[in-house]
Each structure stands twice: as structure tokens, then as C-alpha cells.
Amino acid sequence: MIHISVQQSPIDIGAEMTRAEVAGAGAVATFTGLVRADDGVGTLELEHYPGATEASLLKVAQGAVERWSLSAAIIVHRVGPMYPGERIVFVAATAAHRSAALEACAYLIDRLKTDAPFWKRETRGVEASWVEARDGDHVAAARWDKPKV
């Protein structure tokens, strides 16, 4: 089961967890990303490329399902304006055992950071700026390209 959502509305973790659990398996691993406030960010706005975003996320989820034989892969990403403390992204992987679930969960979030067309714009006071891409995100995503040992 694959579930992809790009939405303006808040992320309902309870509903998404239920979706992950009813897919049926021994392990569900999840990751939740929150809007950080620690450097004075007042608001964060997410822009995306409608159509291409959903296709990219579907590809990321399909990659995880195939690689770890998941029974579920879930990616929920918010777009539009949001505030510090709010959930910006949620991913879940349901697998027979914990190692596959945990690895697949890391893969989902690492890959979506570099593969899906989202852009963040932060506001601090009256100043607004686009968030620059981080090299570390590409390093994290690239580790999944290496052959498994």
C-alpha cells in the first residue's frame, strides 16, 4: 500500500499511523519533521510543483516498497504557510521486521529531501528568504545509491 499526500491541512498522525498499521506487518517506523523556531523563524512557507511533486513522491515510495518489501509506505507533506512547531512532513514504513522498517523510513525522508520539488521560504520579522539547499542532504540521499553489503 502506498499513500502520498501533498496538502495544505495539518498532518493527522493518528490517522496516518492507523493507515500504516492496518497494512499489516510486524513493524512500523515513522519520521516526523517539524518547523524549527530556534533561529528566529516566524513563519515558513512551502512552495511545490503540482503534479511533478506527487509523481516524485510516488517514485520514492515505490523505490522503498520494492527494496524492503514493505506492506506500506506513506508520505504526507504540507505546503503553504505554517508556523514553528507545526508538522511539515510525515513518513512511515511498514515491514515485517524493525530493521527493514527503520531503513526504509530513513530512505523515504532522505530521498524526498533531494528528489521532490519543494522549496522553503522563511520569514524572520519582515525579512523573507528562500532556504538554500544543503550539501548534507545530497550526502544523505546518495548513501542509498551504494550497493548493499
Q: Cα(111)–Cα(109) distance, rounded to whole angstroms?
A: 5
24 DSSP 8-state letter? -
Residue 117 contacts other proteins per CB under 8 A: yes
Which run of H or E residues covers position 135? helix 135-142
Residue 65 contacts other proteins per CB under 8 A: no
Residue 114 contacts other proteins per CB under 8 A: yes
Residue 84 contacts other proteins per CB under 8 A: no
In this chain, which stretch among 9-17, 64-72, 94-102, 132-140 interacts with other proteins, using CB under 8 A? 132-140
Least distance to other proteins, CB of residue 6, Å:
10
Residue 95's closest CA among 12, 13, 144, 24? 24
In this chain, which stretch among 17-25, 61-69, 98-106, 115-123 interacts with other proteins, using CB under 8 A? 115-123
**Among 55, 66, 98, 143, which residue interacts with other proteins (rule: CB under 8 A)?**
55
3-state secondary structure of 112: helix
By CB under 8 A, how many residues form the interface with other proteins? 28
Residue 46 contacts other proteins per CB under 8 A: yes
The bridge status of strand 72-78 relative to strand 2-7 is parallel
Least distance to other proteins, CB of residue 43, Å:
16
Residue 118 contacts other proteins per CB under 8 A: yes
Nearer to other proteins, 22 or 128 (CB): 128
Question: Per DSSP, which regions of 1-149 are E strands?
Answer: 2-7, 27-34, 43-48, 72-78, 80-82, 87-95, 118-124, 127-130
Which run of H or E residues covers position 71? none
